[in-house]
Chain A
């Protein structure tokens, strides 16, 4: 192993993001700022705030470990709009963001580390997927050798026992019941960072066993159960479509929180590769102690991310977007079943039923572009990663920009495009058939524009009804209940005449039905009790 290298192990002592909440917000500067350029391989006395440490880890990775000069996770200061240039016949936009922007290939795995989520790294061979995952193991404080040994390599003969542990042969002979068989568990199961290389080459049966570990944090072999605890997972695949040796089990695919693409190497940076080869330096063997998170810090990091508030206006945007995706008007008679899921369970292609829809603008209708809606798990992942992004950027609460940044990576494998939808027919939108990140971002932007057009931030009668209900029914008299019931019925009556059944209207109608039912039941109780 090379001796630690002074430059490679350097972490900036200067705040990585001005104005972040862990950076003093006043204008006064201190001694740490004056001497910020001094090499600081060790964390400053008193410890660095964890969000700052996370940013330091990111910048160390992009500066020294992974050559990824991409800024595809763009942020712009609202006061300074991004400058855009258009190149080539396709008028490819070159946006110059005005706020600190990031490389998804480095940032998303790091956020996965923070929230202990499940990240799938996809891309061709030799793009740095495995190296990136190994770095995450080292940042968790494990020696490189241990991380490499613990990495599981998918192959067609990989069995459950290969992966998780084998029963002791002595017990297999002598045991009188399964409970008597001790299992020699594989050591990687207890690590805080778990790496499965080429997961789409794992046989289906082993994938199913892997599913329980990914989803529930335990593994079962011969009636013996091993609790693996919370950990960050990194899976790699050469083929985004899961076209490895085995088809990836849908349930396993759904458990993955984010999908990150290894972007193409920029040939302008070949010099860095040459220099690295000549120097014989391995970044994973020179990780500065200042960016390593021990178990306590990892726990605290996760807790601090969860504590980032998700404000109501941002939540409403997400609700409005998600509500657009599930409705399939012709899938059923009863309102609750008019969803794409109903069609799928019946074995009918949602696209065929969508063709029968008329009256709605199928180009503008966001829901017409997808074959499915969002699962609860997907929404949970979205909220979690939006919080992680806000935390990483030093924001006091989640902003719309944070949510918009993580959304394409979280929904990458969870939203299936209906490529026959009219929205893809426009020649300008043709590339969205293959560029799923941009497609999902465009979906969200369209939904946000519609949210603004409807002025839902200020005028949200259904939100008002639910907020009123949320305050509780204790002490509400009969006259008030009747007034509220009349208001609900009035809203539905108004829509009956004037509104197409869009996804958000569908969700709102169901919400009004829910509120109506709650009030009706309460009214019955009021009359019975004589209150």
Chain B
């Protein structure tokens, strides 16, 4: 195999790949396949030392992906140093390792192989946890997981997403890989994928969708139908009055705002927030919540004249005092600055509440049904 950099000695301190490792054996056995990838990476400006370091990071990944394969009878003992020119034995599960190598080289060439970078984390941590998936469909699973990891990691939910996927069996059909990753992302808390994920989950086999959703396979269809109708319902989720979810927060602690948010009706979801002179849409369900800035919607006028909620909430809040708010089943005592019912999508018994002394909003289920 041609190593990047030719015969140039490795930089002092740069890791040297052990040719006896699983990865080393796969690379030697498939040199004709890997060499063009290495040349392409080098052509894109990848430093030979960076390539070596990245491949050294992948050694344990290759071990994990091939761990469950029984060693063939004629397998070369790993402690015997292979001769560089000798024939390299193939390794069972090599396809999975090669898919990881290809993606790794691509990430190195694109300058994305750095500690802390989600895509590198996906290769070195998520893929070993998904070994059965990778072995079943290497060319589908590896690039899809690495690409999606970048999006999922932005919400801080990479570990939970990975654990949810690992708990599910490998898809029997490669076409189910991407929908499965999508369903897991939504179920982990990426609420903006809800609509796409509900459609995807309905199309997956129940044996795969069940573990991804965290429900028994036999219940998948019923749960999806019921959840479509009520985004705050889920098996075993509390269904009494109280705070269902907290949204937003102060910018210094990872939230979106530096000013106090005020809940107002409007926007594409019916729940909007005015904060920092900007209008935001609140997207939330039983599994997660998020806020999205709306560039073309100005609801600041609603802050000055908040509408009076009608129906059940209106009755609850009729003649409400400035503070505290006695009618809301919340664990705090504060003056509310906005109370917005969910409307047709959610029902008027679930409201978005902002208050005078908090940077977070609360999604609260009040007692009583819709008016």
Enumerate chain A interface residues (CB-CB to B < 8 A): 5-7, 19, 25-31, 33-39, 77, 79, 275, 279-281
Task: Determine how close the nearest CB of chain A comes to the CB of B79; give it in whole angstroms.
Answer: 37
- The chain B residues found within 8 Å of chain A, CB to CB, are 40, 43-45, 106, 109-110, 119, 143-144, 146-148, 150-151, 178-179, 181-182, 185, 190, 192-196, 200, 268-269, 277-278, 281, 283, 292, 295-296
Which among A27, A37, A77 is the interface contact of B295 at CB below 8 angstroms? A77
Q: Which residues of A contact B283 (CB under 8 A)?
A: 27
From A272, which residue of chain B is reached at the shortest CB distance?
A: B45
Q: Known A5-B44, A6-B40, A7-B44; judge A27-B147 contact (CB<8 A).
A: no
Q: Which residues of B contact A27 (CB under 8 A)?
A: 192, 268-269, 281, 283, 292
List 14 additional contacts besides A5-B40, A6-B44; criterion CB under 8 Å. A5-B43, A5-B44, A7-B110, A25-B268, A27-B283, A29-B193, A30-B196, A31-B179, A31-B196, A34-B178, A35-B181, A37-B151, A38-B147, A77-B295
Contact A79 B150 (CB under 8 A): no
Asked if A28 contacts B194 (CB within 8 A), the reply is yes
Residues of the A chain whose Cβ atoms lie less than 8 Å from the Cβ of B278: 79
Shortest CB-to-CB span from A5 to chain B, Å, is 7
In the complex, what distance in Å separates the CA atom of A38 from the CA atom of B200? 20
> Could you tell me if B43 and A35 are in contact, using CB atoms closer than 8 angstroms?
no
Taking the nearest CB of chain B, how far is it from the CB of A144, in angstroms? 19
Give the distance to chain A from B108, nearest Cβ to Cβ, in Å: 11
Contacts of A30 in B (CB 8 A): 193, 195-196
A–B pairs, 22, beta carbons within 8 Å: A5-B40, A5-B44, A6-B40, A6-B109, A7-B106, A7-B110, A27-B292, A28-B192, A28-B193, A28-B194, A31-B179, A33-B151, A34-B147, A34-B148, A35-B148, A36-B151, A37-B147, A37-B150, A38-B144, A38-B147, A77-B295, A79-B295
Q: Distance (Å) between the CB of B233 and the closest chain A CB?
A: 19
Pairwise interchain contact A34-B182, C-beta atoms closer than 8 A? yes
Q: Which of B45, B185, B196 contacts A275 (CB 8 A)?
A: B45
User: Which of B110, B150, B192, B200 lies in contact with A31, CB distance below 8 A?
Assistant: B200
In the assembled complex, the Cα of A281 lies from the Cα of B181 at a distance in Å of 36
**Distance of A154 from chain B, by nearest CB (Å):** 36
* Alpha-carbon gap, A104 to B45, bound state (A): 28
Bound Cα distance from A5 to B194, whole angstroms: 36
A36 touches B44 (CB 8 A): no
Partner of B43, one of A25, A37, A39, A279: A279
Query: Which residue of A is nearest B151, CB measured?
Result: A34
Chain B nearest CB, measured from A8 CB (Å):
8
Q: CB-CB < 8 A to B179: which residues of A?
A: 31
With a cutoff of 8 Å between Cβ atoms, the chain B residues found around residue A77 in the complex are 295
Q: Would you call B45 and A34 a contact (CB within 8 A)?
A: no
Output the least CB separation between B268 and chain A (Å). 6
- Shortest CB-to-CB span from A17 to chain B, Å, is 12
| Alpha-carbon distance between A35 and B149 when the two chains are bound, in angstroms | 9
What residues of chain A lie closer than 8 Å to B119, measured between beta carbons?
A: 37
B147 engages A36 (CB within 8 Å): yes
Give every chain B residue within 8 A of A29 (Cβ-Cβ).
190, 192-193, 196
- Decide yes or no: A28 and B43 within 8 Å by CB, A34-B181, A37-B147, A38-B144 being known contacts: no
B296: which A residues are within 8 A, CB to CB? 19
Check B295–A34 contact: CB distance below 8 A: no
Min CB distance A393 to B, Å, is 13
Of A7, A28, A279, A280, the residue contacting B195 (CB under 8 A) is A28
Looking at A6, A27, A77, A280, the one whose CB has the most chain B CB atoms below 10 A away is: A27
B185 partner residues in chain A, CB cutoff 8 A:
34
A279 vs B109: C-alpha distance in the bound complex, in angstroms? 13
In the bound complex, how far is the Cα of B195 from the Cα of A29, in angstroms?
8
CA distance A41 to B194 in the complex (A): 28
Minimum Cβ distance to chain A for residue B191 (Å)? 9
* Residue from the set A25, A38, A77 with the largest chain B CB neighbour count within 10 Å: A38
Between B109, B196, B292, the greatest number of chain A beta carbons within 10 A of the residue's beta carbon is seen for: B196
Closest to A279 in B: B43
Q: Are A7 and B109 in contact (CB under 8 A)?
A: yes
The 9 nearest A-B residue pairs measured at CB: A38-B147, A30-B196, A37-B147, A35-B147, A29-B192, A28-B195, A279-B43, A34-B148, A7-B44
Bound CA–CA A34/B179 (angstroms) = 10
B143 to chain A, nearest CB (A): 5
B contact residues around A275 at 8 Å (CB):
45
- Contact between chains at A39 and B106 (CB < 8 Å): yes
In the complex, which residue of chain B has the Cβ closest to the Cβ of A8? B44
Q: How far is the CA of A52 from the CA of B287 in the complex (A)?
A: 32
Closest residue on chain B to residue A7 by CB atoms: B44
Complex Cα gap A28–B295 (Å) = 16
Q: B268 is contacted by which of A5, A26, A79, A279 (Cβ under 8 Å)? A: A26
| CA gap between A489 and B194 in the complex, in Å | 65
Question: Cα distance A26–B110 when bound, in Å?
Answer: 31
Contact A35-B295, Cβ < 8 Å, known A27-B281, A30-B196, A279-B43:
no
